[in-house]
Amino acid sequence: MIGKTILHYKIVDKLGEGGMGVVYKAKDTKLKREVAIKLLPRFISSNKEERQRFEIEAQAAASLNHPNIATIHSIEEVDDQLFIVMEYIDGRELKDRINSDPISTDEVINIANKIAEGLEAAHKKGIIHRDIKSSNIMITNEGKVKIMDFGLAKIGDGGLLTKVGSTLGTIAYISPEQAKGEEIDNRTDIWSFGVVLYEMLTGELPFRGDYDQAILYSVLNEEPKFLKKFDILPSIQRVIKKALKKDRDRRYRQISELITDLKLKEVSNAGSSYEGIIKDIKKLAVLPFSNLVNDPQTNFLGFALADQIIGSMAYSKNVLVRPSSTIRKYQDQDIDIQKAGSELNVNYVLAASYLKEADTIRLNIELVDLESETMIWREPIEIKYNNVFELQDIVSQKVVDELKVQFSEEERERMKPDTPQNPVAYEFYLRAVSYPYTIEGNKISIEMLNNSINLDPLYAPAYMELGSRYNQLSQVGTSTIVAQNKAEEALLKALSLKKDFLPALANLGFLYTDTGKHEEAHEMLIRALKINPNDAWLHFSLSYHYRYIGFLEESRKEAETALAIDHNNPRFRSSIITSMFLGKFDEILNTFNLDVGSPFTLNHLGEVAFRTGNYELANKYFQEVLSIKNEIGEFYLATSFIEFMKGNIEKAEEYNLKRELENPADSENFYEIARIYGLLNKTEACSRALRKSIDMGYVSYPSMQSDSFLDPVRPDPGIQDLLMQAKMRHEELKKKLLTTY
């Protein structure tokens, strides 16, 4: 065949041969490009049924457009000889790469991620490969990963291509359901992927034998042996074990779940199964800038400029930057960089001093590596005050360069600052950002943001901040619904001006969760995670959302992923509620350590201790809450428990009613109030609070179903009716919401 021309394809070289035909390198003389052509067996073209099946499969495969899938250009025919014209891959098979030299763990994870991403793209289109194996994966000379032969695996007998009597290499990768001739789905590709991952790490196949039947027996009956190397790779071992579950219902349901787990490595044996760090993520805190002259007219810039840089850095997948809310406490303070870095649990700190003179602002900025205690970068920057918004772009770029992290063009584009049209409007915005999240601070901030928007109605960050401030005002009181509506309106406006505005998506996700718009919340949070899948706060936000709708296992997983990325972040403290309703009482009391000095955590530790019957420990936690000043809602909760343990039921009810009359905007808080009434055997009050909770959107039926606090009132028909409402809404959401992304 070499040297011959078929249609306008000149055969240059033979690349390989297998059960589904011979592959040649060819020159496309029309389009002047190199291609690969696969001459298919004659039985396909001569058999009408096989030919029709092939054309359907090949057309579907040709629709795939992904950097990790070899492109199918066309299907051709000459003299009853069918052949596929494909992208030519200049490289070698993964199988050859495995057999030549050991592959480092980092490279294994990189290759595995690329294969998985290609499979995810195919599965989203309903296309299953059915024959994933290391010889069907090509590694280009530039290190790119390409999956070959989509559209071929179903040809032959309409199901299992690699029957007994075919090559041993393919038999070793088939799933148990393939081996038994059962109907297959995307989980078959997940099984085969698990085999390839094992093979990359060990150089061996997990299921072996001297002949076909022996390999099939191993696939169906034996578990793979995990070698010594896996002892230091527990996270990878977990991925492989789950991918190779013989019962496919216990396997990963979607390849996207596997991709999430692949990102987690070096997992600690202590705490959750996901604790660890994501590869290459560096933790950074941008501290409020210090004004060299204590000037009330310019002090606001210290926090506002840091906030702008934090906002732009949020789009980098490889830099985890602390949110503005965590650095606000350092505003207008003398800052010890090492101490602040330790408190914020980061590796790097960006700090600066500034001086505003006339229409110019001068800054001295430094980036410090806390572990080595070295200055990575220090530079004076001078910029016109009217163009101060450009500072975030300059500094963000410099940080990315100095930390030696990679980012995509898409990330880079999103990191660019929004350009305000009016400098006065921008100053109003910066001043608004600097005000604290107190009731008074929020009101002043809203006034300034409205001034900003009146002058510049197209500046998305102003609407985002306005939505955030209204959301803060909506937490308690009689005007919560009005504030929530204004928050939603502002955040939607921000997104209409900037569709991938990460803070707006995250804030809307929280707002919609609190207001019971769960399908909308889910959409916002999934959109945000697709922009930055390494953002710990987004994973926690999704965990929060899942908790409210009763997806408790999914909530647990997202919380653990958040903590895997950002270990011990105190902002993730409410994950204790998920663990409590999953019944993990001993684990909580022994290991939970998030924000342990806060009244919120102390109350929940007290409740968990109470649920275990350890009233002495529970009382200790509740008494600590009572010692904290300026606390209202948590004080009432702790006092209700204390009075109940004393036997003062009416007193306990009185404090719980006081909490109810605070009218919290959070539906989960109302469920907390309802379950205390249930514990007190106050049916009418429980029914009132439970109805309010469900009406507001708390539909975690699994939590309600297992909650012993509701047992005293559970037989009541009214309570039963409310629980049924929660169940129906929960079941409806289970049908609608895909928990993979």
Residues facing residue 76 across a β-bridge: 83
**Cα dist. 525→40, 124, 371, 505, 615 in Å?**
46, 19, 33, 7, 39
Closest C-alpha among 579, 534, 582 to residue 561 = 534
Classify 550 in phi/psi space as left (phi over 0), alpha (psi -120 to 50) or beta.
left
| Whole-number Å distance between alpha carbons of 211 and 214 | 5
Q: What is residue 392's predicted lDDT score, i.e. its pLDDT?
A: 77
Instruction: For residue 475, give the DSSP letter.
Output: S
Q: Which residues of 382-408 are buried (b: 16+ CB within 10 A; e: fewer)?
A: eeebeebbebbbbbbebbbeebebebe
Residue-level length of the chain = 741
* Cα 77 to the center of its chain, rounded Å: 46
Query: Which residues in the chain land under pLDDT 70?
Result: 18-20, 57, 151-169, 227-235, 260, 263-280, 371, 406-407, 476-478, 567-568, 741
DSSP 175-212: -HHHHTT----HHHHHHHHHHHHHHHHHSS-SS--SSH
**CB under 8 Å to 699, separation ≥6 — which residues?**
516, 518, 548, 549, 550, 726, 729, 730, 733
Strand segments, DSSP code E, in 327-478 are 348-357, 360-369, 374-384
**pTM score, whole prediction:** 0.59
Q: What is residue 459's predicted lDDT score, i.e. its pLDDT?
A: 93
**Secondary structure (3-state) at 79:** coil
| Whole-number Å distance between alpha carbons of 25 and 37 | 6
Q: What is residue 270's predicted lDDT score, i.e. its pLDDT?
A: 31
Q: How many CB atoms lie within 10 A of CB 370?
A: 18
**Cα dist. 264→83, 244, 378, 487, 538 in Å?**
42, 18, 33, 35, 16
**Cα dist. 206→104, 136, 246 in Å?**
19, 18, 13
| Whole-number Å distance between alpha carbons of 288 and 50 | 68
> Is the separation of the CB atoms in 89 and 70 below 8 Å?
yes
**Domains recognised in the chain with CATH numbers:** 1-88 (3.30.200.20), 91-262 (1.10.510.10), 282-417 (3.40.50.10610), 514-736 (1.25.40.10)
**Cα dist. 486→425, 467, 635, 669 in Å?**
20, 7, 30, 22
* Cα 529 to the center of its chain, rounded Å: 5
Q: What is residue 57's predicted lDDT score, i.e. its pLDDT?
A: 67
- Phi and psi at 348, nearest 5°, equal -135, 145
DSSP 339-363: HHHHHHT-SEEEEEEEEEETTEEEE
Query: If DSSP states are collapsed to H, E and C, what string results for 659-711?
Result: HHHCCCCCHHHHHHHHHHHHHCCCHHHHHHHHHHHHHHCCCCHHHHHHCHHHC
Q: What is residue 401's predicted lDDT score, i.e. its pLDDT?
A: 79
Q: How far apart are the first and last CA of the chain?
A: 46
Q: What is residue 587's predicted lDDT score, i.e. its pLDDT?
A: 86
> Is the separation of the CB atoms in 163 and 134 below 8 Å?
no
Query: Helix crossing, 439-455 with 460-473: angle to 10°?
Result: 150
Q: What is residue 231's predicted lDDT score, i.e. its pLDDT?
A: 56
Instruction: For residue 323, give the DSSP letter.
Output: P
> Is the separation of the CB atoms in 268 and 275 below 8 Å?
yes
Percent of the chain with pLDDT over 90: 45
Where do runs of H (alpha helix) occur along 552-632? 552-565, 575-581, 585-591, 599-611, 615-626
| Whole-number Å distance between alpha carbons of 624 and 642 | 12
